[in-house]
Amino acid sequence: MLFPFPATARPEASKFTAFSTNTIRRDSENRADDCVEVALADPDAQLMLVQGGRLYLDMANGTAGLWRSRMNALSLGADLQRAVLLGTNDGRPLLAAPVSEEADEPPASIKAIDHRSVYMQSLLLPKDEGALAQGAGLLAWHASHRFCSRCGAESEMRSGGYKRKCMACGAEHFPRTDPVVIMLAVSEDACLLGRSPHFAPGMFSCLAGFVEPGETLEDAVRRETHEEAGIEIGQVAYHASQPWPFPYSLMIGCYGEALSHDIDADRDELEDCRWFTRPEVREMLGKPMGEALYSTPPKGAIAFRLISDWLDAG
């Protein structure tokens, strides 16, 4: 029996979230240990540069230029010994490299902008946001996993950045992605939203939390919702996902069927937590941040997608 896919294909909800569009051909089956060196030798190779959670962008022409040649990258202090291969686009190698902490200040036209601001200000095209998620996640993992977790010796990069090998004990280590469930609990014509103390004034969002070892996504949704809000969840349905380079997470968006309604919020996690009716959510989504009493995360956030798609389904 074939799985009952919809008769008319619908756009994936994930494609409407930031960092989720990536047109790079990863060529994972062709990642030899010397693939970075081969890619850097290609005169058409292009690199994105990252330093300490900030992306180098060339703003000289009023647009955010992300990619640069090997020679230009070197002039800006790129450490090509730690470059990773993202893949190819139209046969052109694309890489990401960290900028040395000892590098000189870049020219005035080059701005080092933190990843969150790049996203919030929509400085990149969607396909380049996806490349940023891939490159920034890999570089962050390598920066924090230089040493073998088995014997403590320093490990070496292999397979273009998709593996580290310990030359002392032979252990191999692979890049990790931290799974995070983000969920919208719903009950009849209301949804549950909370706000963290660090949110912008008036902003409410979906609840979220890391998946623990040996836990299904569904059980993580139930556990996190109960821990943060005291709400019991029954059925859980997957809706969308979003790569999240802070530093290397995957947001997994779900809906949860609320079986209880009395909120008992964890005040260490949430400043406020409440049920919002459809008319209230419609008003939140219909006005820019600051013009309504309450607001939601920006459109690129998977929380916005969960909230808006729930509202549209009603």
Q: Give me 225's structure tokens.
A: 């919702």
pTM for the model stands at: 0.92
How far apart CA 276 and CA 286 sit, in angstroms, is: 15
How far apart CA 4 and CA 27 sit, in angstroms, is: 31
How many CB atoms are closer than 10 A to CB 176? Answer: 12
Could you list the pLDDT tens digit for every one of the 314 residues in the chain? 466 777 677 789 999 999 999 999 999 998 999 999 999 999 999 999 999 899 999 998 878 899 999 999 999 999 999 999 999 999 999 999 999 988 899 999 999 999 999 999 999 999 999 999 999 999 999 999 999 999 999 999 999 999 999 999 999 999 999 999 999 999 989 999 999 999 999 999 999 999 999 999 999 999 999 999 999 999 999 999 999 999 999 999 999 999 999 999 999 999 999 999 999 999 999 876 667 789 999 999 999 999 999 999 98
Measured in degrees and rounded to the nearest 5, phi and psi for residue 113 equal -115, 130
Q: Which residues contact 128 (CB under 8 A, 6 or more apart)?
A: 66
How far apart CA 13 and CA 34 sit, in angstroms, is: 37
Query: Residues of CATH 3.90.79.10 domain(s) within the chain?
Result: 178-313
Q: What CATH fold (topology level) applies to the domain 178-313?
A: Nucleoside Triphosphate Pyrophosphohydrolase (3.90.79)
The 3-state DSSP class for residue 168 equals coil
Give tens-digit pLDDT for 49-61. 999 899 999 998 8
Give tens-digit pLDDT for 106-161. 999 999 999 999 999 999 999 999 999 999 999 999 999 999 999 999 999 999 99
Contact between 97 and 46 under an 8 Å Cβ cutoff? The reply is: no
**DSSP code for 285:** H
User: How far lies 84's CA from each of 48, 135, 149, 247, 253, in Å?
Assistant: 10, 7, 21, 16, 29
Measured in degrees and rounded to the nearest 5, phi and psi for residue 194 equal -130, 170
